């Protein structure tokens, strides 16, 4: 298992100082063993957290709370494993919030970020700008991770189909 230093591939000390205690939490570290979008749930969460940090800081928003909540947005292990896909998609944000509250102090802003990150799959509108930002960053990260985790033959096949479609459309 990698140590904390090896995980510092985003190279930003302030980012890591904000999330250090979460990265040291034993339960949170279980996410390193769970596959998610072709990578680990830990690495997916770290990516969403880092881009939330960069975006919310640049926009002058509450970047400390947003960065921490973004890291915790998929904080679940096997709680929704037995559920069918559509139910798991809707239910995992509440499980993540429950786990986050169990181990960390969670503000209203952070709770909103975590529990609404699957909007519009979950119906309730995000209340804060930070919640909208995490929702969008999570979507973009998911698409990126799913695409780049595919093996090269499959990627090549997708590119081929894409080129054929482009030729047909023109
Ligand atoms: Fe999620
Ligand atoms: Fe996610």
C-alpha 18 to ligand 1 mean position (Å): 21
Query: Pick from 91, 92, 71: which is nearest to 134 by CA?
Result: 71
Which CATH number fits the domain that encloses residue 80? Answer: 1.10.3210
C-alpha 39 to ligand 2 mean position (Å): 12
C-alpha 129 to ligand 1 mean position (Å): 18
Whether 4 shows a pLDDT value over 60: the answer reads no
C-alpha 30 to ligand 2 mean position (Å): 15
Ligand in nearest proximity to the CA of 36: 2
Q: Total domain count for the chain?
A: 1
What is the per-residue pLDDT across 11-42, written as a single tens digit (0 to 9) for each? 899 999 999 999 999 999 999 999 888 889 99
Question: pTM, whole model, 2 decimals?
Answer: 0.84
Name the residue range of residue 100's domain: 5-169
- Which of the residue ranges 8-12, 116-120, 154-158 has the most confident prediction, judged by mean pLDDT? 116-120
Q: Residue 2: what pLDDT? A: 46
The 3-state secondary structure of 72-115 reads: CCCCCCCCCCCCCHHHHHHHHHHHHHHHHHHHCCCCHHHHHHHH
């Amino acid at each position: 298992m990698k140590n904390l230093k090896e995980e510092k591939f985003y190279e930003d000390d302030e980012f890591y100082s904000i999330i250090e205690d979460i990265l040291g939490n034993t339960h949170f570290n279980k996410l390193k063993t769970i596959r998610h979008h072709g990578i680990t749930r830990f690495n997916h969460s770290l990516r969403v957290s880092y881009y939330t940090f960069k975006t919310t800081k640049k926009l002058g928003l509450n970047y400390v709370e947003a960065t921490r909540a973004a890291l915790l947005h998929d904080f679940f292990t096997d709680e929704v494993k037995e559920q069918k896909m559509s139910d798991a998609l809707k239910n995992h944000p509440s499980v993540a919030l429950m786990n986050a509250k169990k181990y960390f102090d969670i503000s209203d802003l952070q709770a909103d970020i975590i529990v609404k990150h699957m909007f519009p799959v979950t119906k309730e509108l995000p209340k804060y700008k930070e919640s909208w930002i995490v929702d969008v960053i999570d979507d973009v990260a998911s698409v990126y991770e799913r695409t780049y985790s595919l093996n090269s033959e499959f990627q090549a096949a997708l590119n081929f189909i894409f080129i054929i479609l482009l030729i047909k459309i023109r």
